[in-house]
Amino acid sequence: MDMTRRAAAEFFGTFWLTFAGCGAAVLAAGFPALGIGFLGVAFAFGLTVLTMAYAVGHISGGHFNPAVTVGLWAGGRCSSAHVVPYIIAQVIGAVVAAAVLYWIASGKPGWVPGSFAANGYGDLSPGKYSMGAGFAMELLMTFSFLLIIIGCTSKGAAVGFAGIPIGLALTLIHLVSIPVTNTSVNPARSTGPALFAGGEYIAQLWLFWVAPIVGAIVAGLVTRWLYEAEAVTETVVVIDETERVA
């Protein structure tokens, strides 16, 4: 499949993840009487991955996340030729999604962006957690996410259902880590909102690239050993009998 189509799939998937996930936090979480709250935001992010995995996962593999792309590459599940184009498409998708979300949100009289669903530590952490705590949380959650993705899409896993546990895993990750960092595990998702939140959020963006990517690489190396008997070289979300790995 040509790279243009793969990159487009990654753009649309990451756009949807950022727009709908962050949109749930920005537009719906605190809405009077009808707010979806903390639990709703966690499910919103999980549902973005679940829906796009089945919509475009068979085209690109359904990464929607630079850390996932790098982790799958480290685990031998993603071609080196895909890494840079995928990451570029993912970051562009997230930035465009944040721009559209900002434009829509600003249509409400008196609206102020505040954190704009950006990630942070210290004073910018929802629970005021330290940089060290934030780094550890992002690293561990991304490691776990990659472990789940690779495990659910390996030989022997149920065919056609990987999007469900992967989406639920992202929901669970948000339930655990929103108080600490507002949950990233995805450098592209962090970049889009940070550019519009500005100031200190941009200054802290480094953590939400470094920690997820380190966690993903470690997971990729661990799973390369864990599943060493499997001869798998291509990485696509399990949608049908012909494409078995994410």
pLDDT tens for each residue of 12-54: 999 999 999 999 999 988 776 667 888 999 999 999 999 999 9
Nearest one of 8, 37, 3, 44 to 23, comparing CA atoms: 44
CA 210 vs CA 89, 109, 188: distances in Å: 19, 37, 12
Q: Is the pLDDT of residue 245 over 80?
A: no
Residue 243, phi then psi, degrees to nearest 5:
-125, 110
Nearest one of 169, 146, 166 to 76, comparing CA atoms: 146
pTM: 0.91
Q: Which residues pair with residue 243 across a beta bridge? A: 240
Least confident of 27-36, 102-111, 214-223: 27-36
What pLDDT score does 156 carry?
A: 74
Domain boundaries, the chain: 3-226
What pLDDT score does 229 carry?
A: 60
Each residue's pLDDT tens digit, 147-201: 999 999 888 777 778 999 999 999 999 999 999 999 999 999 999 999 999 999 9
**Continuous H helices in the chain:** 3-23, 37-60, 66-74, 80-105, 131-152, 163-181, 187-197, 199-203, 207-226
Query: How many Cα neighbours within 13 Å face the side chain of 106?
Result: 9
Full DSSP string of 75-124: TT-S-HHHHHHHHHHHHHHHHHHHHHHHHHHTTSTT---TTTT---SGGG
Between residues 209 and 229, the one the model is more confident about: 209
Report the mean per-residue pLDDT for the chain.
91
The CATH label, of 3.30.70.270, 1.10.10.10, 1.20.1080.10, 1.10.10.60, for the domain at 3-226 is: 1.20.1080.10
Dig out the tokens for 138 from the structure.
């992002």
